[in-house]
Amino acid sequence: MIESSAIKQLRERRDRAREVGRYKRRELRGQTTSSGMTVASRSAAVESEGHRAKRTLLSGALKRANKETERRRVTDAHSDLFSNAKRALAMKKGRRYRPAMAAGHTNRQ
């Protein structure tokens, strides 16, 4: 199974790329102060595109990891169901025929 720590790390990296991209876009629009770098707006736009590509890549990887985790969970659930059904059938076949209680005197009068 894909480890949850790997998925957690992918999610954290994707979120970080998303945050940096948002911050860079805000810088381009002039809604926040510069992060200390004095770069031309052209290079900032290219940098923003880089974060967008990174975020897209990480989002795709996270989707694939989540799909694989879900696929493995479903497969495990199906195999558990199948083994339980086989065991129940074996138990059912293993039972001996027990006749119903013989009719006779009862406590009722």
Query: What is the overall mean pLDDT for the chain?
Result: 80
pLDDT for the residue numbered 66: 92
Q: Which residue has the higher pLDDT, 58 or 27?
A: 58
pLDDT band of residue 31 (cuts 50, 70, 90) is: confident
For 85, counting Cβ atoms within 10 Å of its Cβ (0-12 exposed, 13-18 middle, 19+ buried), the class is exposed
pLDDT band of residue 21 (cuts 50, 70, 90) is: confident
Nearest one of 5, 6, 3, 1 to 61, comparing CA atoms: 6
Mean pLDDT of 38-44: 55
Q: Which of 7-11, 51-55, 62-66, 98-102 has the lowest mean pLDDT?
A: 98-102
> How far from chain centre, in Å, is Cα 79?
20
Is residue 34 within 8 Å of 101, Cβ to Cβ?
Answer: no
